[in-house]
Structure 1
Amino acid sequence: MSETIVVLTEQPLLDADAANLTALHPDRDVDFHVVLPTRTGRSLLVELIDRLSLFELPERARQEQGARRPRPEQALASSLAVLQRAGVAATGEVAAEKPVDALVTAVQAHDAREAVVITAPHAVEDTFHTDWATRAQDKLGLPVLHLYSGSSFIGDS
């Protein structure tokens, strides 16, 4: 019987994210359930500080704002396709509730013993341990791995 790992992500998963997820338990039968929130709930001020701390120039930030972000349903479909191409079974949901609350609900619904949060680096939240992974671990009492999207870097949760 397979285990389910619940994955909370703020953006569509990339091939590198799928590779990181499938490498977690190569010796066990694992399914993934992806939770993608409709809103991240991030403050504009915190977002600005994060961008400045990562040395992102205001011009780049304007370009990113001008680029259309995929709708949550599209981002979820893309994420599931990436996981399926990696050879793993995956389901998912778009969550209207707060991201961490949605993760907790999904972990309980799937009787998961493990959760993974995949985000971009967020300097303010990561520094002050208010990131999704830390908050989820506090609520769940389970291991919550925090990976940075598109890389093999692990957040300090």
Structure 2
Amino acid sequence: MTDTILVLTEDTLATADIEHLLALHEGEVLTYRVLVPADSERPLLATVVDNLGLGELGEAFDRLRGKEPSVREAKATADEQLAASLAEFAAAGREATGEVVADDPLPALRAAVAAGEVREIAVVTYPHAWEDTFHRDWASRARDELQVPVLHLYSGTSELG
């Protein structure tokens, strides 16, 4: 087994996120690989519930009208988030690699685990009321399918999902 921590994130990793990830294995030299999905197909109900829960009425209305980013826009956003996340690792003195993956990141996680290169998976997201409650979030799905430890952190906090 290699010493790779696979980090799945839906947004740019904040400095606090990097600090929490590195503190989990203080004193160890590990490889970090960041995956950022190009999110172009957001589930209607889950997204609207999240928007309403956060008071984002305009975003909820847009989603109800079917407004979603194009595949090209989603890929460009994910590329920016990945580059900024890798820069955060570099600023912390750690090297990391990464890639943009498909809208559903589970196949990419599955492939990485099958290749034998993953020690554990850290999922960093914002709270999602619907998906977290019904265990349809990325971390819960990964725990159900994969045979490696999965940690779910809420972005910018030390809270566990």
TM-score normalised by length of structure 1: 0.84
Match of residue 57 from structure 2: 58
Contact (CA 8 Å) 1:10, 1:40: kept in 2 or not?
no
Give the partner amino acid of 2:114: Q
Match of residue 24 from structure 1: 24
Aligned length: 150
Tell me the alpha carbon deviations over residues 28-71 of structure 1, each in whole angstroms, 9 at most, x when there is no partner: 111110001112643122111122234x1415768xx9xx9862
Asked if 1:71 is matched to 2:77, the reply is: yes
Residue ranges of structure 1 left out of the alignment (5+ in a row): none
Q: Which moved more, 1:116-125 or 1:36-45?
A: 36-45
Match of residue 64 from structure 2: none
> Which residue of the other structure, out of 119, 126, 147, is the alignment partner of 2:125?
119
Give the partner amino acid of 1:13: L
Match of residue 134 from structure 1: 140
Give the partner amino acid of 1:58: L
State the Cα distance separating 1:74 from its structure 2 match. 1.4
Match of residue 88 from structure 1: 94
Residue ranges of structure 2 left out of the alignment (5+ in a row): 62-66, 68-72
TM-score normalised by length of structure 2: 0.82
**Cα 1:41–1:142 shift into 2, 3 Å:** farther
Asked if 1:45 is matched to 2:61, the reply is: no
- Aligned residues with identical type, % of pairs: 47
**Cα 1:107–1:139 shift into 2, 3 Å:** same
**Cα 1:61–1:19 shift into 2, 3 Å:** farther
**Cα 1:26–1:40 shift into 2, 3 Å:** farther
Q: CA RMSD in A?
A: 2.4
